Amino acid sequence: MTVPTDRRYTDQHEWTLVRTGDEGATVVRVGITDHAQDALGDIVFVQLPEVGAELAAGDPMGEVESTKSVSDVYAPVAGVVVAVNDVLGDTPETVNADPYGAGWLVDIRVGDGGEDPTAALLDAAAYQTMVDGS
């Protein structure tokens, strides 16, 4: 199982990557982890929020459906959805093939507080420990 060290993680198996978006805004890219996609099995459908949707941290923001089950995806940070990965509508299996790259789910623009909006989330080592303990 891959756990990139340049991201932060939730205990619900979402990953986050802080980036700089248009006009210098802080944008957090969100996806599901390698562990999550592996546990789900073959992903056949992904439902994502609309661009412009306002999310609070912990809000359900979509679903990932596999041949085994349907799982909610939760917003790891508060903000406004500024992009969704439209490719997943036609090729949801991209999440299985490349969960940390082409299989990303949404970009969320967060407030400009100057602080890392994902600082309270798990780092790679803590996420790996959590997964190994379950």
Burial of 52 (0-12, 13-18, 19+ CB in 10 A): exposed
Give dist(CA 133, CA 24) in Å, integer: 39
Is residue 106 within 8 A of residue 77, CB to CB? The reply is no
Give the CATH number of the domain where residue 46 resides: 2.40.50.100
Percentage above 70 pLDDT, the chain: 97
- Helix then strand count (H, E) for the chain reads 4, 9
Structural domain harbouring 66: 8-113
Mind listing the pLDDT tens digit for each residue in 116-129? 899 999 999 999 99
Which whole number is the average pLDDT over 43-63? 97
Whether 97 maps to a domain, the answer reads yes
pTM assigned to the model: 0.94
DSSP 40-101: H-SEEEEE-PPTT-EE-TT-EEEEEEESS-EEEEE-SS-EEEEEE-THHHH-TTHHHH-TTT
Give dist(CA 88, CA 109) in Å, integer: 20
Mind listing the pLDDT tens digit for each residue in 20-40? 877 778 999 999 999 999 999
Counting the structural domains of the chain, the total is 1
